[in-house]
Amino acid sequence: MHEHIEVRVTASSREEADRICSAVVGQRLAADCQILAPIESTYWWAGEIQRSEEWLLLMKTTVERFDELARRVRELHSYEVPQIVAVPVVAGTADYLEWIRRETARVSGA
């Protein structure tokens, strides 16, 4: 299993994206969070094809922190079923991967 992952989340607005990124990085659930925007999504919801403008968040973290990160995103998200998917980081430079580990390490007493 891979230790490092990229978690992909879509948000309904730039403000929601900013709020989620600030929270997960501030709580060290992700080492960083990038916002790509805007994107157009097409998907099934409530029995119909929907289209909406969204903002894509890319978060780098560890597998160990995924459940907490997903829980926090759900708390902050406006969607009933937000996209929260993780893809493995299969390779990266040693110093970058160590930085992710260090920045998402649990703080003693937290």
Number of other residues whose CB lies within 10 A of the CB of residue 17: 23
pLDDT of residue 110: 54
Cα angle: 79, vertex 9, 32; to 5 degrees? 135
Name 61's bridge partners: 5
pTM above 0.75, yes or no: yes
Written as tens digits, the pLDDT of the chain (110 aa) is: 689 999 999 999 999 999 999 999 999 999 999 999 899 999 999 999 999 999 999 999 999 999 999 999 999 999 999 999 999 999 999 999 999 999 999 877 65
Residue 16 contacts residue 55 (beta carbons within 8 Å): yes
One of 3.40.50.300, 3.30.70.2740, 3.30.70.120, 3.10.450.40 is the CATH number of 4-103, namely: 3.30.70.120
pLDDT of residue 107: 78
pLDDT of residue 37: 85
